[in-house]
Amino acid sequence: MHSNNSSLAGENRGPLSSLEDWDADLLKRYPDPSSINEDKKAEEFRNYQATEKDGVREFYRLNHTFQTYEYVMAKKADFLKFDKKEMPIWAAFDFLNQLVDDSDPDTDLDQMQHLLQTSEAIRNDGHPDWMVLVGLIHDMGKVLCLFGEQQWAVVGDTFPVGCAFSDKIVYPEFFELNPDRYNTDYNTELGVYTRNCGLDNVHMSWGHDEYVYHMMKDYIPEPGLYMLRYHSFYAQHRENAYNHLMSGHDQEMFKWVNLFNPYDLYSKNPNQKSWDELKPYYEDLLAKYLPANLKF
């Protein structure tokens, strides 16, 4: 029904000023525990209605309306052929650098700086080098914008499709607009799945997480793949809303997702080394794990 998004949303094709508005909104919803004001009650931090930018609400209206099971399957069939383009990973990083959010008063960092801050924080804490690599590439799936994907199909909190939408997902009221909400095949607790079937058998909403996971699944150890695939699955790693779909193995692997998530959200190092100093290390790291060219 919604496999072709070329005509969707009309004038609402750009609900956010840039993709980084979503990142800024995440920090409002999931603030760093070490920086929470003592005079602010904990429940205030999950007040989605208080989001300052109307564009975020519009973003999630579109996301929750059109991320259907049919839509996800069509996108996977299209993009997971990886037949759009072949280029060195550095060319993908150059594209990501165009995604800086000039409207965000909290940061003037380009996307590459965010990735380096994440990866450097992981490296400084002595984690394995494959996890450092995950920090560097975890948002690389945003190159979907290069192929004309709309914002709500690139970023956003992710969630399973093909079963009932949890009320723990941000702005759950917008799922009333999603046709799967009224499809008896999809609107039960388990939907098309079986209890504790394991997340590898579950289809997640389409976006940069799923895309980069499939791109990297032949190159990176399994804990890193979980980090890539589920780092935006806040309904689970913050709310445990989908335990009924997770296997025991998923529960073990989510320890890695939980380890990674704070580096993604809260790594802000103003004293980071220059790119000239860092480049030799990251060139060697990429060469160790990835081919010279990647298919997108």
What is the total count of domains within the chain? 1
Residue 43 within a domain: yes
Residue 272 within a domain: yes
Residue 5 within a domain: no
Residue 2 within a domain: no
CA dist 73 and 155 (Å) reads 17
Is 240:210 a contact under the CB 8 Å cutoff? Answer: no
Tens digit of pLDDT for each residue in 161-209?
999 999 999 999 999 999 999 999 999 999 999 999 999 999 999 999 9
Tens digit of pLDDT for each residue in 41-99?
444 444 445 545 678 899 999 999 999 999 999 999 999 999 999 999 988 888 887 76
Is 179:162 a contact under the CB 8 Å cutoff? Answer: no
- Residue type at position 85: K
CA dist 153 and 62 (Å) reads 9
Residues in CB range of 54: below 8 A, 6 or more apart: none
Residue 262 within a domain: yes
Q: pLDDT class for 218, splitting at 50, 70, 90? A: very high
Supply the range of the domain harboring residue 87: 10-295
Q: What is the pTM of this model?
A: 0.82
Residue 87 within a domain: yes
Residue 75 within a domain: yes
207, two tokens: 């976006």
